[in-house]
Structure 1
Amino acid sequence: MFKQSFINKILQNTRKPEGFWGRIILRGMNKGHAPLAKWGMSYLKWSPEWSLLDVGCGGGANLAEMSIRCPEGSVYGIDISEESVKFARKKNRDLLGKRCFIEQGSVEKLPYENEMFNVVTAFETIYFWNDLLQSFTEIARVLKKGGIFLICCEMSDPSNTIWTSRIDGMTIHPVRELRSLLSRSGFTDISVYKRRKEDLCIIAQK
């Protein structure tokens, strides 16, 4: 029982990394989520000058990858976790303050101007957003007209409670709910892609 409780305590760092175990989790996320992120990114036709925002940027690996794909553009990252922000800044230190900008904050109140980004991404993070409608509406606000919102998750079946039963505040949302909320938030062209058992990629255009 003690061992399970200890592991569950560590797993809370997948939602909001903190301290030593948070850094361990972030390091693992950077490596472990790379194949999923690469798959999701494959559905975009990249432009070198894009301005992008990664919400829930975690350890910053996706920011590093996107900065390579958009060598003439800029990448922004935001995360509610102070530990994640520090980790992501270290990961992207060579471009920090030049083409890469990372700060702490919430998706429900993004600290960016209207129509600022060509693309907003959310990898393995919407499980932990308290208000999806408000979050999606904020993302629509900061996207340029015709901009793209990319959602990528490795879990998309709400009946799968392996992780939701162990990680506080984690919710797996069905595709039909995500489609509906995206439409209500101002997105019109919504495409859904799946692979394997639960991997999910949603491309929504403003």
Structure 2
Amino acid sequence: MSDWNTETAEWYAHKYGEYPTNKLGIEALKLPDNSIVIDIGCGTGCALRHAAKQVTQGILIGVDPVPRMIEIAREKTTSDSTASNIIFKVGSAEDIPIENNSADFILAFDSFDHWENQQQGLKEIHRVLKPDGHFIIVKDGGLPNNTEARQSFLDILEHSTFKIIEEQTIEDDEVLFTLWICKNE
């Protein structure tokens, strides 16, 4: 994420901070109320604020490599009374500041393509995810079945420890995106 800095964080937060994929993706998941959820590349924390409506007894942790983005996420979350169980940490997909085998769900909502090293990020997710946990990837715009980008994405997952167990294409008036639910093999 070397192109990300204070200026790009401000721009992103203004333009995409409350993007509809966050709300719609979380609604599609139906997270258990006692889950431990980590959002890699959490941006403004929008997905976690939506998740807090479902995960009322668990812990939600947002991780982002840009310190200003974490500041923005904290600022936006402080005023949300339903989000008292959200924590934000500076970190990257390649070096997640969380203990081994601790997460029930790890989210990558429109962040996977921004990781510096996707294979290292997948190894870290495997380390942090509980053995029966789920890794959720969202890609805005969806990936049609017969594209090079789709095949490249599937190849990366195939060479990791994850297997796709569910794929959904979600569309409403504002957005179209694909959501993959993966498990450790």
Give the alignment partner of residue 13 of structure 2, picking from 26, 38, 51.
Answer: 26
Deviation at 1:128, TM superposition (A): 1.2
Q: Identify the range of structure 1 (52-61 vs 126-135) with the bigger mean alpha-carbon deviation.
A: 126-135
Following TM superposition, the consecutive aligned residue runs of length 4 or more in structure 1 with deviations greater than 4 angstroms are 195-198
- Equivalent in the alignment of 1:63: 48
Gapped regions of structure 1 (runs ≥ 5): 1-11, 159-172
- Equivalent in the alignment of 2:126: 140
Is the contact made by 1:182 and 1:204 (CA closer than 8 Å) also made in structure 2?
no
1:132-180 deviation line (CA, Å, top 9, x unaligned): 111112111111112111111114569xxxxxxxxxxxxxx82223223
Deviation at 1:86, TM superposition (A): 0.2
Cα separation, 2, equivalents of 1:178 and 1:106: 19
- Equivalent in the alignment of 1:179: 154
Give the alignment partner of residue 74 of structure 2, picking from 76, 89, 99.
Answer: 89
Q: Structure 2-normalised TM-score?
A: 0.82
Report how many aligned residue pairs link the two structures: 177
Residue 89 to residue 64, structure 1, CA distance change in 2 (3 Å): same
Give the share of equivalent positions with the same residue, in percent: 24
Q: Structure 1-normalised TM-score?
A: 0.74
Give the alignment partner of residue 21 of structure 2, picking from 23, 32, 36.
Answer: 36
Gapped regions of structure 2 (runs ≥ 5): none
Is the contact made by 1:50 and 1:118 (CA closer than 8 Å) also made in structure 2?
yes
Cα separation, 2, equivalents of 1:189 and 1:200: 12
The structure in which a higher percent of residues are strand is 2
Residue 156 to residue 130, structure 1, CA distance change in 2 (3 Å): farther
Give the alignment partner of residue 203 of structure 1, picking from 153, 156, 181.
Answer: 181
- Equivalent in the alignment of 2:95: 109
What SS does structure 2 have at the residue aligned with 1:109? coil
Between structure 1 and structure 2, the one with the greater Rg is: 1
Cα separation, 1, equivalents of 2:39 and 2:170: 22
Amino acid at match of 1:65: H
1:95-130 deviation line (CA, Å, top 9, x unaligned): 7x9622111111111121111100000111112112
